[in-house]
Amino acid sequence: MNSKQVVVITGSSTGFGRLFAETLARKGHTVFATMRDPAGRNAKNASEIRAVAEKDSLPIHVLELDVTDDASVERAVDAAFAKAGRIDVAINNAGYVVSGLAEAVTTEQARGLMDTNFFGPVRVNRAVLPHMRRQRSGVLMHISSGAGRVVIPSGGFYCASKFALEALAESYSYELASQGIESVIVEPGPYETPVIGNMVAAADEARTDTYGAVRQIPAKINAALASIAGNAQEVADAVLRIIETPAGEKQLRYLVSPQSLGVDRLNALSKQVQANLLEAFGLAADTRFLKGKAVGSV
Ligand SMILES: NC(=O)c1ccc[n+]([C@@H]2O[C@H](COP(=O)([O-])OP(=O)(O)OC[C@H]3O[C@@H](n4cnc5c(N)ncnc54)[C@H](OP(=O)(O)O)[C@@H]3O)[C@@H](O)[C@H]2O)c1
C-alpha cells in the first residue's frame, strides 16, 4: 500500500471528523471530508474547510454524504473512487448522543439514533468493501466511545448504539483479516467538541418527571463529562498514528481517553476471551491477518 492513503471520513462538518480531515491531509493523505448537506445546513463548515485546503494546498475534497441514506453513501463512495482510483481507509465518525432516562426516549428517537450510529457504518462499510477487497487492502475505522464498553445511566441508547457498533466492527475484523483488510475501533473518552451541544434530550418529559431525584442523573453525567473533557486534537493524532501503522500490525481496539476508568482492562480481558473462543472453535487460522497471502476473490 502507498504510504499516502486515500481516506473517506463521515461527519466531517465539525468536531473530530473535521480535525481528522485536516490532521491527515497535513501529512499528505488524500481526504474526502464528507458531510450531510454541504450546500445547505453545513455550507459554512464546507466553505471553511475548502478555504483552509486552498490556503495550505491540502488534498481535501468535500463531498455530500448522509449516513442514513443508502443512495447518498453510494454516491459519495463512487465519487471518491472515481477521483482517487482507490479507497484505503473509511472512518465511520458520524454520530450523536441521545441523553435521558431510558423510559423517556421514544422509539422514534431510539430508531433514529441507531440509524446514524449503527446502520450508518453498515452502509458505509458495504459501499467501500468491494473496492477494498479488489485492492486486497484497506482499513475500516469505527469511532466508538468508552461508552461502547461501559454503561452510563441516562446514556442507555447511546451506549447500546456504540456496543452494537463494537460487536459489528469486531466481527468484520475476523471475517476480513485474511483478505488483507483491517477493522479497528477507536474508543474516545470525553473530548471538547460540539457533541454536547448537539445532544438530543429524551422527548417524553412526562415520564422523566415521575423519576424523582433520578431525573437529575443526565445533568450530573453531562457536568462530570464536561469537567474532564480533553483536547480533541489528541484523538486526531491517535487516528493519524493508527492509519500510519503498517498493515497487519494494528490493534483491534484503541482507547484514547483523559481517564481510563478500567476500559483498558475490559479490552485486555475481552482480547483473551475472544482468542480462547476462536481457538476453541478452530477458527484461529481463518481469522488471522495473512501478510501478502490474501485469499478469496471478488
Ligand atoms: N466528543 C466526545 O467526547 C466523544 C467521545 C466518544 C465518542 N465520540 C464520537 O465521536 C463522533 C464524532 O462526534 P464529535 O464529538 O466530533 O461531535 P460533533 O461535532 O457533534 O460531530 C458529529 C458529526 O456527525 C455528523 N452527523 C450526524 N448525523 C449525520 C448523518 N446522518 N450523516 C452524516 N453525518 C452526520 C454531524 O454532522 P451535522 O453537522 O450535519 O450534524 C457532525 O459532523 C461521534 O460518533 C461520537 O459519538 C465523541
Q: Which three cell numbers stand for residue 40?
A: 445547505
**Element (H or E) spanning 242, and its range?**
helix 233-243
The predicted model gives 193-209 an average pLDDT of 96
Count CB atoms within 10 A of the CB of residue 67: 26
What separation in Å is there between the alpha carbon of 245 and the centre of ligand 1?
25
CA–CA separation, 298 vs 130, rounded Å? Answer: 7
With 90 as the cut, is the pLDDT of residue 297 above it? no
Among all residues, which ones are annotated catalytic?
158
Measuring from each residue's beta carbon to the nearest atom of ligand 1, which residues come in under 6 Å?
10-11, 13-17, 35-36, 42, 66-68, 93-96, 116, 143, 145, 188, 190-191, 193-195, 198
- Closest-lying ligand 1 atom to the alpha carbon of residue 94: 24
pTM assigned to the model:
0.97
The predicted model gives 227-249 an average pLDDT of 97
Nearest CA to ligand 1 atom 45: 95
pLDDT band with cut points at 50, 70 and 90 for residue 298: very low
With 90 as the cut, is the pLDDT of residue 6 above it? yes
Nearest CA to ligand 1 atom 19: 15
Task: From 9, 14, 255, give the residue whose CB has the most ligand 1 atoms within 8 Å, as the site to mutate.
Answer: 14
Closest by CA to 124, choosing from 44, 198, 36, 45, is: 36
DSSP string for 103-172: GGS-HHHHHHHHHHHTHHHHHHHHHHHHHHHHHT-EEEEEE--GGGTS--TT-HHHHHHHHHHHHHHHHH
Task: From 13, 64, 116, 231, give the residue whose CB has the most ligand 1 atoms within 8 Å, as the site to mutate.
Answer: 13
What separation in Å is there between the alpha carbon of 9 and the centre of ligand 1?
11
Nearest CA to ligand 1 atom 34: 11
What separation in Å is there between the alpha carbon of 285 and the centre of ligand 1?
36
Nearest CA to ligand 1 atom 1: 191
- pLDDT computed for residue 230 by the predictor: 97
Strands 60-64 and 30-35: parallel
What separation in Å is there between the alpha carbon of 163 and the centre of ligand 1?
16
- Closest-lying ligand 1 atom to the alpha carbon of residue 194: 19
Are the beta carbons of 38 and 125 closer than 8 angstroms? no
Nearest CA to ligand 1 atom 32: 66
- pLDDT computed for residue 19 by the predictor: 98
pLDDT digits (tens, 9 = 90+) for 109-168: 999 999 999 999 999 999 999 999 999 999 999 999 999 999 999 999 999 999 999 999
What separation in Å is there between the alpha carbon of 165 and the centre of ligand 1?
14
Q: How far is CA 64 from CA 14, 192, 262, 285, in A?
A: 14, 25, 38, 40
Side chain identity at 160, as an amino acid letter? Answer: A
- Closest-lying ligand 1 atom to the alpha carbon of residue 17: 16
Of 180-184, 248-252, 267-271, 286-290, the range with the lowest mean pLDDT is 286-290
pLDDT digits (tens, 9 = 90+) for 68-87: 999 999 999 999 999 999 99
pLDDT band with cut points at 50, 70 and 90 for residue 218: very high
What separation in Å is there between the alpha carbon of 283 and the centre of ligand 1?
35
Residues 6+ apart with CB under 8 A from 115: 68
